[in-house]
Amino acid sequence: MIDREQVLHVARLARLRLSEEEVERMAGEMSTILGHVETMNELDLEGVEPTSHVVELQNVLREDVPRECLPRERALEQAPDVADGGFRVPTPRHG
Amino acid sequence: MTDPLHMTAAQQAELIRGGDVSASEVFDFWRGRAEADDLGSYLWVADEAPAELGELPPVAVKDLFCVEGVPSGAASRILKGYRPPYTATSVRKLREAGAAVLGKTNQDEFAMGSSNENSGYGPVQNPWDRTRVPGGSSGGSAAAVAAGTAPWAIGTDTGGSIRQPAALCGVVGLKPTYGAVSRYGMIAFASSLDQCGPLTRDVTDAALLFRHLVGRDPCDSTSLEFPEEVPLPSAERLDGLRFGVWGLSEEGLDPGVADVVRETLGTIEQLGGAVEEVDLPSARHGIAAYYVIAPAEASANLARYDGVRYGPRAAVDGDLTAMYEQTRHDGFGEEVRRRIMIGTYALSSGYYEAYYGTAQRVRTRIAEDFRAAFERVDFVVTPTSPTVAFKLGERTADPLAMYLSDYFTVPMPLAGIPAVSIPCGLSEGLPVGFQIAGPAFSEGRILDAAYALEGAIGFEGVPRT
Task: Kindly tell me if the per-residue pLDDT of A95 is higher than 60.
Answer: no
**pLDDT value for A62:** 82
Give the best residue of B361, B363, B368 to mutate against chain A (max A CB count within 10 A).
Answer: B361
| DSSP β-bridge partners for residue B101 | B59
> Quick one: average pLDDT of B24-34?
97
For residue A46, CA distances in Å to A38, B209, B287 come to 16, 43, 20
For residue B364, CA distances in Å to B127, B275, B283 come to 39, 26, 11
Q: Give φ, ψ of B448 to 5 degrees.
A: -65, -45
**pLDDT value for A94:** 58
Q: Is A16's CB within 8 Å of B359's CB?
A: no
**pLDDT value for B200:** 98
**pLDDT value for A58:** 72
Which residues 66-95 of chain A have a CB within 8 Å of chain B? 70, 74-75, 77-81, 87, 89-94
pLDDT in tens, B151-210: 999 999 999 999 999 999 999 999 999 999 999 999 999 999 999 999 999 999 999 999
Question: What are the structural domain ranges in chain A?
Answer: 1-40
% pLDDT > 90, chain B: 95
Question: What is the least distance, in Å, from the CA of B70 to any CA of chain A?
Answer: 12
B314 touches chain A (CB under 8 A): no
Cα(B336)–Cα(B321) distance, integer angstroms: 20
Q: Which amino acid is at B56?
A: L
> Quick one: average pLDDT of A20-44?
95
Burial-class residue B134 by CB neighbours within 10 Å (0-12, 13-18, 19+): buried
Q: What angle do CA B397, B188, B66 make, to 5 degrees?
A: 110
Q: Which amino acid is at B80?
A: K
Which residues 133-192 of chain B have a CB within 8 Å of chain A? 177-179, 192
Those residues with Cβ within 8 angstroms of residue B205's Cβ, 6 or more apart along the chain or in another chain? B8, B9, B10, B152, B172, B198
The closest CB to that of A77, out of B85, B292, B322, belongs to B85
Pairing of strands B379-383, B242-245: parallel
pLDDT in tens, B114-128: 999 999 999 999 999
Cα(B6)–Cα(B328) distance, integer angstroms: 44
% pLDDT > 70, chain B: 100
A28 touches chain B (CB under 8 A): no
Q: Give the Cβ contact number of residue B312 at 10 Å.
A: 16
Mean pLDDT taken over chain A: 91
> Quick one: average pLDDT of A65-73?
91
Q: At how many degrees (to 10) do helices B443-457 and B203-213 cross?
A: 160
pLDDT in tens, B73-122: 999 999 999 999 999 999 999 999 999 999 999 999 999 999 999 999 99
Q: Give the Cβ contact number of residue B310 at 10 Å.
A: 25
> Quick one: average pLDDT of B389-414?
94
**pLDDT value for B381:** 98
In chain A, what is the greatest distance between 2 CA atoms, to the nearest angstrom? 58
Instruction: Quote ipTM for the complex.
Output: 0.94
Question: What is the least distance, in Å, from the CA of A55 to any CA of chain B?
Answer: 7
Residues of B carrying an active site annotation? 62, 137, 161
Q: How many CA atoms, within 13 angstroms, populate the side-chain half-sphere of residue B416?
A: 25
List of chain A residues whose C-beta atoms are within 8 Å of the C-beta of residue B312: 80
List of chain A residues whose C-beta atoms are within 8 Å of the C-beta of residue B218: 62
- Least confident range from A53-57, A70-74, B222-226, B375-379: namely A53-57
Domains and CATH numbers, chain B: 4-237+449-457 (3.90.1300.10), 283-359 (no CATH)
Question: Among 1.10.20.60, 3.10.20.310, 1.10.10.60, 3.30.457.10, what is the CATH number of A1-40?
Answer: 1.10.20.60
B362 touches chain A (CB under 8 A): yes
List of chain A residues whose C-beta atoms are within 8 Å of the C-beta of residue B84: 78
Task: Kindly tell me if the per-residue pLDDT of A48 is higher than 70.
Answer: yes
